[in-house]
């Protein structure tokens, strides 16, 4: 029996003297503490919490050289790690067993199971840590290409505000409901130096519905779209992380026939920079004190942080005249008192659309 602060092992050991250096071979049961897996789960998903199963242990096979310093590339290990609960940001897995395998400097782990109760979707993450040549070199964490790590997982508020909050504009400007899939097209994280992940992912939104969060709702209210139900125009959202910054492809929403485009990125310090493109409606033009003939698209800037985005409505309305003037030559945009504004109402037919490229 062997006890440490990270695990307890019960089993039989055998010393093999036929090789140089000598090998210690151990077979038995391992009962790990949360501290054993916490470094690995926190590397994979920062903020993950591990709750270990009670007294039941898992199987263990170990072959280790009796030489110092220990070369992990000469260590062989196979284990089954039982867990009562694994908590990720917005996700909780119950009663699962994690297969763990180490051979020739390559450590493989599989985290697979159902999320929550019935019909809660599934998680399947298979990370691996590779130790290159050299005693002082730390490993590189990777996942297999085209890994579908989440399948039909419900978009709870905890998930959207947790894991998905790192994928602007989701979680900061848009709240989603329904279910989602998540596929990592590639993922690599060197566990040395700056420790910045290089990855790309696809978020499946075919069974999801969007809802505007407060800062976006304020903009949509100004455009007369606040009460119009939203829907995703595309079924997928692609994002990539590189050198500490995270960028996503534009997320296009439909409010009736109107299209709203959201794009942005999250900096390493947590600051948010998003831009929202909305059609200039009669109501929006009137609020800005403008007369507008023809279809136009205005750009609103969102800043702040992912947890506290900021929209300056007055600055946006003040910039609208300059945006429209840059799109079309005068006199297509006229400025005047709000009382004189009327764009395409029932009594005065609107002029035909202008031939111009929207902003």
CA dist 117 → 95, 173, 180, 182 (Å): 12, 29, 16, 19
Residue 45 has pLDDT above 80, yes or no: no
What is the structure's pLDDT at 356? 34
Higher pLDDT, 137 or 285: 285
What is the structure's pLDDT at 345? 36
Mean pLDDT of 297-309: 92
What is the structure's pLDDT at 340? 39
Among the listed residues 130, 145, 114, the one whose alpha carbon sits nearest the alpha carbon of residue 192: 130
Range list of β-strands (E), 191-244: 198-204, 208-212, 230-232, 236-242
Residue 338 has pLDDT above 50, yes or no: no
Burial class (CB in 10 A: 0-12, 13-18, 19+), 110: middle
Highest mean pLDDT among 20-24, 28-32, 116-120, 273-277: 273-277
Mean pLDDT of 160-176: 82
What is the structure's pLDDT at 342? 36
Rounded CA-CA distance 8/30 in Å is 6
Residue 31 has pLDDT above 70, yes or no: yes
What is the structure's pLDDT at 336? 55
Q: Take residue 57 and report the two structure tokens written for it.
A: 């242990």
Neighbours of 49 (CB within 10 A): 15
Residue 242 has pLDDT above 80, yes or no: yes
Mean pLDDT of 241-254: 89
Mean pLDDT of 256-276: 89
pLDDT per residue as tens digits for the range 86-103: 777 777 888 888 899 999
Higher pLDDT, 89 or 164: 164
Mean pLDDT of 216-226: 95
Residue 341 has pLDDT above 60, yes or no: no
Tell me the longest C-alpha to C-alpha distance in the chain.
99
Model pTM above 0.85: no
Is residue 117 within 8 Å of 91, Cβ to Cβ?
no
What is the structure's pLDDT at 119? 55
Q: Take residue 4 and report the two structure tokens written for it.
A: 């440490």
Q: Are strands 140-143 and 127-130 parallel, antiparallel or unpaired?
A: antiparallel
Mean residue pLDDT of the chain comes to 82
């Amino acid at each position: 029996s062997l006890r440490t602060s990270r695990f307890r092992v019960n089993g039989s050991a055998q010393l093999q003297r036929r090789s140089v250096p000598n090998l210690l071979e151990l077979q038995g049961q391992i009962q790990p503490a949360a501290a054993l897996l916490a470094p690995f789960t926190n590397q994979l998903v920062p903020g993950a919490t591990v709750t270990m199963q009670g007294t039941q242990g898992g199987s263990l096979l170990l072959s280790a050289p009796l030489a110092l310093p220990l070369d992990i590339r000469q260590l062989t290990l196979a284990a089954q790690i039982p867990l009562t609960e694994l908590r990720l940001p917005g996700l909780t897995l119950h009663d699962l067993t994690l297969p763990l395998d180490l051979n020739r400097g390559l450590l493989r782990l599989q985290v697979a199971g159902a999320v929550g109760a019935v019909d809660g979707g599934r998680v399947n993450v298979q990370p691996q840590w590779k130790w290159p040549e050299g005693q002082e070199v730390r490993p590189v964490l990777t996942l297999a290409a085209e890994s579908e790590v989440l399948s039909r997982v419900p978009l709870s508020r905890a998930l959207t505000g947790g894991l998905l909050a790192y994928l602007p504009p989701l979680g900061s400007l848009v709240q989603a409901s329904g279910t989602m899939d998540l596929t990592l097209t590639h993922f690599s994280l060197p566990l040395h130096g700056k420790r910045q992940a290089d990855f790309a992912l696809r978020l499946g939104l075919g069974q999801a519905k969007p809802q505007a969060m407060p800062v976006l709702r304020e903009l949509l209210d100004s455009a007369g779209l606040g009460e119009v139900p939203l829907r995703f125009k595309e079924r997928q959202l692609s994002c990539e992380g590189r050198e500490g910054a995270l960028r996503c492809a534009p997320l296009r929403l439909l409010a009736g026939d109107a299209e709203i485009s959201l794009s942005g990125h999250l900096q390493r310090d947590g600051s948010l920079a998003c831009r929202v493109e909305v059609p200039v409606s009669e109501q929006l033009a009137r609020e800005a004190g403008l007369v507008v003939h023809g279809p136009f698209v205005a750009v609103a800037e969102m800043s702040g942080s992912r947890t506290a985005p900021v929209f300056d409505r007055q600055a946006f309305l003040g910039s609208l005249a300059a945006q429209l003037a840059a799109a079309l030559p005068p006199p297509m945009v006229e400025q005047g008192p709000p009382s004189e504004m009327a764009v395409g109402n029932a009594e005065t037919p609107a002029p035909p659309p202008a031939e111009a490229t929207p902003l």
